[in-house]
Amino acid sequence: MLNIGGLHEGFVLDHIEAGRSMEIYQYLNLDKFDCCVAIIKNAKSNKMGKKDIIKIECSIDEIDLNALGFIDHNITVNIIQDDRIVEKKRLSLPKEIKNVARCCNPRCITSIEQELDHIFVLTDPKKEIYRCKYCEEKYRRKKK
C-alpha cells in the first residue's frame, strides 16, 4: 500500500497503465502547475501487475477530469480533501474534448488557422474512437 498521507488537498491518479504517467503529466499540463507533483512509476499492483501513480497537490477545480477520461478512462481518481479520500471517481469517455489533443492531419483547417480550438468528438464509444470535429481524422494515440 502506498501512503498518500501529507496531501491536504488534491488528487491521486491511480491505476495508470505502467509507463504512461509522463504522457498524462503532459496532457494535463502539469508542468505549468506551481504545486507539488509526485510521479510513481512501476508500482506493484494486484490488479494490473505494474501501474503508475500521480499525486498532485492542488485545488480540486484545477484539473480537467474530462481530459483525463479521454486519455485513459480506466484511471481511478482519488479526490483528497482535509487529508482524507473524500471520493473515488471512475472516469468515463467524454463526448467531446477541447484542446487536449491536436489534429495531425496536414490537410485539416486547424493546421493553418492557429486560433482554432482543436476539438475531438467521440464517434464510436465501443471502439473508443475520437475524430476531429473539422476533418474527421481519427485521433491516433501515441505509442508507448
Partner 1 sequence: MRHLMSPLDFSVEELDQLLDLADDIEMHPQKYAHACDGKKLATLFYEPSTRTRLSFEAAMMNLGGNIFGFSSAASSSAAKGESVSDTIRMVSCYADICAMRHPKEGAPMVASAVSSIPVINAGDGGHQHPTQTLTDLLTIRSLKGRLDHLVIGLCGDLKFGRTVHSLVRALARYEGVTFIFISPEELKIPGYIKEDVLEAQQIPYKEVERIEDVMSQLDILYMTRVQRERFFNEEDYIRLKDFYILNNKKMRLAKEDMIVMHPLPRVNEIAVEVDKDPRAAYFRQVQYGVYVRMALILTLLEVHVC
Query: Under the rule (CB under 8 A), what is the footprint of partner 1?
Result: 105, 107-113, 115-116, 123-124, 127, 129, 131-138
For residue 95, the minimal CB distance to partner 1 (Å) is 16
Grid cell 493553418 is found at 112
C-beta of 25 vs 134, nearer to partner 1: 134
Cβ proximity to partner 1, 11 vs 139, nearer residue: 139
Which residues is 44 bridged to in the sheet? 50
**CA distance linking residue 100 with residue 123, whole number of Å:** 17
| Residue 45 or 123 having the CB closest to partner 1 | 123
From the CB of 62, what's the least distance to partner 1, in Å?
29
Q: For the CB of residue 134, give the shortest distance to partner 1 in the complex, in Å.
A: 2
Q: How far is the CB of 109 from partner 1 (least distance, A)?
A: 4
Q: Minimum distance between the CB of residue 15 and partner 1, rounded to whole angstroms?
A: 29
Give 41 or 131: the residue with its C-beta nearer to partner 1.
131
Nearer to partner 1, 87 or 117 (CB): 117
Contacts within 8 Å (CB) and 24+ apart, 19-24: 19/52, 19/144, 20/52, 20/72, 20/144, 21/52, 21/53, 21/54, 23/71, 23/142, 23/144, 24/52, 24/54, 24/68, 24/71, 24/72, 24/75
Give Cα separations from 40 to 19, 55, 59, 81 (angstroms).
Answer: 10, 8, 21, 21
